[in-house]
Amino acid sequence: MNELFAQVLQKRDLSKAGELFSLADDEIKDDLVPVLEAISKILDCTDYLQNDNDQSVVEICITRVTTAIRETGSIEAHSKCLVSLLEVCQKYDLNPAAPEKDPPHAKIASDIMSCLFMHYSKPKVMSLAIPVVVNFLRCNNKELTRNVSSYLSLAALDNADTLAKYVDLIISTILRGNYFLSTVLPQIYSQNKQPIINSIDKLTAIINVCDVSERASLFQVFGMISKHEPTILEPHIDEFCKYLSSSTLAALVLMMFVDMATANPKAFVDYLPSLKDLAEQQPMYFIQVIQIIGAIGNIDQDNARRSMVYFVSCLGMKDQTALAVILQEIKALSINNHSLLEENIIEISKLSQSGSSAVRLLVQQLKDDLKKYANNLSCSSPPQEKETRSVSSQTEGQVTVITVGNPHNAAYPSGAVSVRHTAMSQSTISSQQSIPKSLRNSSSNTRHERPVSPASTILSDRLSLGSLLTVGSTQTGPPLLAEPIRDGIQHFCEKHMTSIRNFICQFSARIPIPAKCGIINGRHRQYIRLFFLCGDQKERCIYGNSYFTLDTKVPKTWIHLMFLAIQAQSTSALSQNDPSISSLKTCLEAISERGQNIFLTIVTSSFPSAKDQDLLIQELNRIRFFDVFEFNAAKKHWACFVCNHPEKVGDLLQDGVPVIAGQLKEKKGKWKFLKRWKTRYFTLSGAHMTYNKSDHRKETLPVSKIQSVKAVRKGIRDIPKAFEIFTGDETYTFKAKGQQNIEQWVQCLHIAVAQVQNKDDEKKSTKMVPMPSHVNPLNQENVVIERPRSVMDTKL
């Protein structure tokens, strides 16, 4: 063991403990295991609870050890010892004896868990930590259990399998009042479903005492359950309906109702009036309500007629996406209710002239269906002396050819049906996704409620899968049109266009949408760089000629959002072949493992959750985005503070150059909390920041060396108490006399740094190779690929 550590731990010498921070991390890296073992012995002493000196020594040593582990990247080598310390802490009472006063073992446990869960993506660390950490949920220390809940929520992202083993303990903790832990349930449901399903009644009972994010997590779980065990949720429909008025929860509730209604539509008959009122008051939920009403129409002929009347009454609406969904539901109802289609075909046909291409195609299909039903009716009549027609089906490649007539090589007598079944291609299977749930279910579950001919059955099944219909020479009239194979992304966008636009409208006021994303070829791997643009770009704009960049650690979420933003700005649903979507796909696949095709899965999944959005905000906070940009509600875009508040920075600029001077308190170095503040007079003028030292010498800090500037706050919304400057090898912390002075210094420094970077960019004239051209909402290329300079130089 290091000599200084030995003196501090063996003699409990608090006076030497501060010197531990003068030791280099690499110097003590090999001594951390015996140090942790020595700390464990002190923690496990009976007099530790009353010995303030020992407590202070242990706290300082733990801080130094965890810092060294973090800096040397040696968490996997020391995770076992850290977990052993947690087990020691669990032997003692962790409940606070007085308000806001944690027991000493609880403090140490919090520090150790903080170190461990910084590495939540490392399976080896989490496999040791999670089984021990979950036991802290049993204690009554609210602060500690809240911290544990946060750590487990983070760990669930990459360690759902491990955490799912403790779902019973997690549920019991939630029911005891730790509602925040409900955010873990959607992550672990698929790994261990039954305990959550068994607790539906209890989890439903606590919805009203949870906050919005916790309720959203519970409804996410209920939505997952509705896909496998929908009937279990039926007793709670009344409770769920209370949250249809919530803008945050209504979409989750309705998606769950769609799955439940598909399984048992009778459960929603009594709720039809309230659902129709919701669709009228909140058009964004119209599509889900239509799907529920379509499912109810499959119960019997009376409900089918009522559903059809409602669908036809809505055909005058302007939303083309909603019209397409209505026509799909009409198509589903008409399979077993041919007369309803015949009664309303005139009204439906009016859309042939005014609807979108998707709407016109569906109208044509409905007309063809009506002809088909008439032909089937004639085919099912008693055979007469003249030649009767049969239907034979052969599968050739990726299409099914259905021939009407009596082929010369038919192996069956006239009037029979010959069908050869072969495996469908993947593209044909995927095209079935364009059919509404009520259509898929009605074709299989309710087929025999009404007598239909064999030909009718085959035709309806094959047509619903986009097959090709070939009519023989004995048929009169034009051939029926083929229903094309649908693009999965395009269908998703058509179905959810309104929801996408509403989501982006709300989301963009909270988090900015990148103007570009780029594939950067790093030394060891490729990664995604995001480019943000000022929405105003006025004369003095900080980023008028450049971008604010972020190297993201969550590229999938950002690309998902860029996809939604592009679609929200488009007047029609975009497909995978659209250049903008194709570019984003290329960007994502460049950083994915070879052979993976995850783009379709990501962009057609549910919108980013509140937790996903919080991760994006954390990234933006890390690079101090919100110190530079803010949302302009009047113009509905993000702009830099110079463009948003030109009146505030006018006094700080002389001939366009930032100038500010004054006394600041300053610290620099690694262990600033061990150092004293030094008061000096600083001057910022253009590209240089100067200050006077005690010996009257002037020192200069070139602005070109400043990598970033950030205001120091306790919380995101708190008033800044200081600001920090980061260079390549040094960190400076400054205090000014008041909040206004701090903001002025931060603003001036941001302007100076941006101006220097803009000049450097003009000199370097960095070249970027664009992906296939496309225009995004900000009229910029969406995706760029930046190559290492050495590679580009050789090509030039």
> Is the model more confident about 540 or about 715?
540
Coil, helix or strand at residue 92: coil
- Of the pLDDT bands very low, low, confident and very high (cuts 50, 70, 90), residue 373 is confident
pLDDT per position as a tens digit, 309-318? 999 999 888 8
Coil, helix or strand at residue 111: helix
* CA-to-CA separations, 545 to 171, 178, 354, 762, in angstroms, rounded: 53, 49, 45, 9
Q: Which helix (H) or strand (E) holds 160?
A: helix 160-164
Cα–Cα nearest to 638, from 711, 578, 565? 565
pLDDT of residue 576: 80
- Of the pLDDT bands very low, low, confident and very high (cuts 50, 70, 90), residue 283 is confident
Read off φ and ψ for residue 665, nearest 5 degrees: -90, 135
The total number of residues shown for the chain amounts to 796
* Mean pLDDT to the nearest integer, 461-482: 35
The yes-or-no verdict on residue 14 having pLDDT over 90 is no
Quick check: 629 and 534 in contact, CB under 8 A?
Answer: yes
Coil, helix or strand at residue 668: strand
Listed ranges 410-424, 564-578, 585-599; the one with the highest mean pLDDT: 564-578
- Of the pLDDT bands very low, low, confident and very high (cuts 50, 70, 90), residue 379 is low
The yes-or-no verdict on residue 467 having pLDDT over 50 is no
pLDDT of residue 655: 61
Cα–Cα nearest to 787, from 588, 517, 526? 526
- The model's pTM is 0.52
Rounded to an integer, what is the distance from CA 204 to the centroid of its chain? 25
Quick check: 538 and 602 in contact, CB under 8 A?
Answer: no
Read off φ and ψ for residue 682, nearest 5 degrees: -110, 145
Structure-token match 């910029």, residue found: 780
* Mean pLDDT to the nearest integer, 512-523: 83
Cα–Cα nearest to 403, from 454, 474, 476, 484? 474
* Mean pLDDT to the nearest integer, 130-155: 88
The yes-or-no verdict on residue 38 having pLDDT over 80 is yes
Alpha helix positions (H), 314-436: 320-334, 338-349, 351-354, 357-379, 426-431
Dist. CA 382–CA 241, nearest whole Å: 52
pLDDT of residue 352: 82
